[in-house]
Amino acid sequence: MINTYQTSLPPPPVPPRHRSDPVLLPAPGPSNGNGMPLLRFLVVVVTVHMLLSLGGFVYLYHSDKRGKIAPAEAQAELLLSKETSHIAMARMVVKPLSHTSEKLALGYLQWNIDHSVRSNINYYRGSWLTVLEPGNYYVYARVTFSKQNKGPLASWVKLRQSETGEEKNVMKAYCDLGSHSIGLCTATQGEVMTLKAGNQLSVWVQDLSLVDYEEGATTFGMYKL
């Protein structure tokens, strides 16, 4: 019996496999300019965001720096105010003379309490300064005279132990208009005094109508050393 399945012929060749060409996407056509406004908008947004971020950083930096410094400065100012508030001192501004005050003053200069400066020193009846703290004080007075008068003009600082105590002259100063063409002369005095609590000081002149009452011309004060 003949085997029909066997043959001496070689097997038929395998057909070659063809490589598939890659699918190429079509290149985009030329832009018609519709994307440019969007691109510009995005650039503006990014730029504004960067500027706001930078500004916020600078603000926070300076705010933090001020927050660290402010307490120290506030503490220094507080200490300074406490120190100055405990200093016993007074700088009195003279009060302009009127017919009524001239009769009541009897030669004692009246002080404008509202425009004067005082700390830990009281006043009594507009003319006297009352010491509250005992100690050594520098007391000064400056009285300017602006009208002619025969003989020298005197300015006295008077002291009394209390409101009802006997008065005594503790400081004296004189000036003489003489032949001064400007018609002004100033009696100035200053001295260190040991004062007790309750002591009172005032300035007395012979004639109140001869005093120059312009600002800064006549003054009286004291401060504790």
**Could you tell me the residue ranges of all domains in the chain?**
38-85, 88-224
pLDDT-derived band at 142, boundaries 50, 70, 90: very high
The whole-number pLDDT of residue 85 equals 59
Q: How many CA atoms lie within 13 A of 177 on its CB side?
A: 16
Q: Is the dihedral of CA 60, 66, 69, 74 positive or negative?
A: negative
CATH number for the domain whose boundaries are 88-224: 2.60.120.40
Extract the runs of DSSP E, i.e. beta strands, from the chain.
Answer: 89-93, 117-119, 121-124, 128-131, 135-145, 153-160, 168-175, 185-195, 200-205, 219-224
pLDDT > 90 in the chain, percent: 40
Q: Mean pLDDT across the stretch 54-80?
A: 57
More confident residue, 53 or 126: 126
What is the model's pLDDT at position 80?
Answer: 47
| Distances 116 to 41, 61, 111, 163, 185 between C-alpha atoms, Å | 67, 45, 8, 21, 23
- The CA distance from 178 to 82, in Å, is 48
pLDDT at site 221: 95
* 5 vs 36, residue with greater confidence: 36
Q: Tell me, what's the pLDDT at 10?
A: 58
- Predicted confidence band of residue 204 (pLDDT cuts 50, 70, 90): very high
pLDDT tens track for 205-222: 988 988 999 988 999 999
Q: Is the pLDDT of residue 69 over 50?
A: no
pTM: 0.60
pLDDT of 90 > 90? The answer is: yes
Is the pLDDT confidence value at 161 over 50? yes
How far, in Å, CA of 120 to CA of 130, rounded?
Answer: 9
What is the pLDDT confidence band of residue 168, given thresholds at 50, 70 and 90?
A: very high
Residue 71 clears pLDDT 80, i.e. is over it:
no
